[in-house]
Amino acid sequence: MILPIVQTGEPVLRQSARPLRPNEIRSREIRDLIADMRDTMYDAPGVGLAAPQIGRNLQLAVIEDRSEYTHDWTDDQLADRERTVVAFHAIINPKIMLLDHDKIEFFEGCLSLDGLMALVPRAHRVKVECLNEKGEEKTIIASGWYARILQHEIDHLHGAIYVDHMYPRTLMTVANYKKHWREKSIEQIKKELLHTP
């Protein structure tokens, strides 16, 4: 079932989500919710969806980065972002650790801020300890784009949105990004919008 995605300003997006209990994770309700979140993410389309985005105050997110999302990207663009296919999975009650202090800057959007995007610095590498959709313990070590997705979705579980981390002067519509900025390097965009040397 496709669920409605709440937009910024909904209180649930600024609340800390509650952890799921072990008996909840294995329940039919949560299994069905994960399936509905997967369908909603595909329909949007997006690479991740957190439960608060569909109005549920739970520490649960689904992630999948499909090859069709980048079919028109060049090899250089994929390499620059360290973006590869990520199979569908759920993360439940995640704990994240930043593995380095290097910040990588790329544009991010969010299904709860429809039509907008901004340049956001994120840690290059992360470690996430969580439970999977079967309630099994899982450790994820990720870098590049996958690390960015994990940070973005886990932020949602703590009441944060990418606008809390963005360079404010880079906030723009997706249409204007495609029209004016997509072909420029991050360095050029920063020089023009942030007045960096």
Q: Tell me the residue range of the domain where 47 lies.
A: 11-100+120-164
Consecutive H or E run containing 40: helix 28-43
Tell me whether residue 115 is in a domain: no
Q: Which of 24, 133, 153, 183 is catalytic?
A: 153
Evaluate whether residue 41 is within a structural domain: yes
User: Which CATH number characterizes residue 39's domain?
Assistant: 3.90.45.10
Does residue 189 sit within a domain? no
- For 74-125, write each residue's pLDDT tens digit: 777 777 788 888 999 999 999 999 998 889 999 999 999 999 999 999 999 9
Give residue-wise pLDDT tens across range 9-67.
Answer: 999 999 999 999 989 999 999 999 999 999 999 999 999 999 999 999 999 999 999 87
Asked, for residue 182, whether it belongs to a domain, the answer is no
C-alpha–C-alpha distance, residues 31 and 15, integer Å: 23
- Asked if residue 173 belongs to a domain, the reply is no
Q: Is residue 63 part of a domain?
A: yes
Q: Could you tell me where the beta strands, DSSP code E, fall in the chain?
A: 48-50, 60-65, 86-98, 103-109, 116-123, 125-131, 137-143, 172-173
Q: With a threshold of 0.85, does the pTM exceed it?
A: yes
In a domain, 25, yes or no: yes
pLDDT digits (tens, 9 = 90+) for 120-174: 999 999 999 999 999 999 999 999 999 999 999 999 999 999 999 999 999 999 9
Task: Examine the residue annotation and report whether 187 is marked as an active-site residue of this protein.
Answer: no
Contact between 122 and 164 (Cβ < 8 Å): no
Q: With 80 as the cut, is the pLDDT of residue 70 above it?
A: no
Identify the bridge partners of residue 106 per DSSP, sorted by sequence position.
Answer: 120
In a domain, 106, yes or no: no
Residue reference for tokens 């985005």: 53
Confidence class for position 196, pLDDT limits 50, 70, 90? low
| 68 burial via Cβ count (<10 Å: 0-12, 13-18, 19+) | exposed
Burial 72-91 (b: 16+ CB within 10 A, else e): eeeeeeeebbbbeebeebbb
Number of domains in the chain: 1
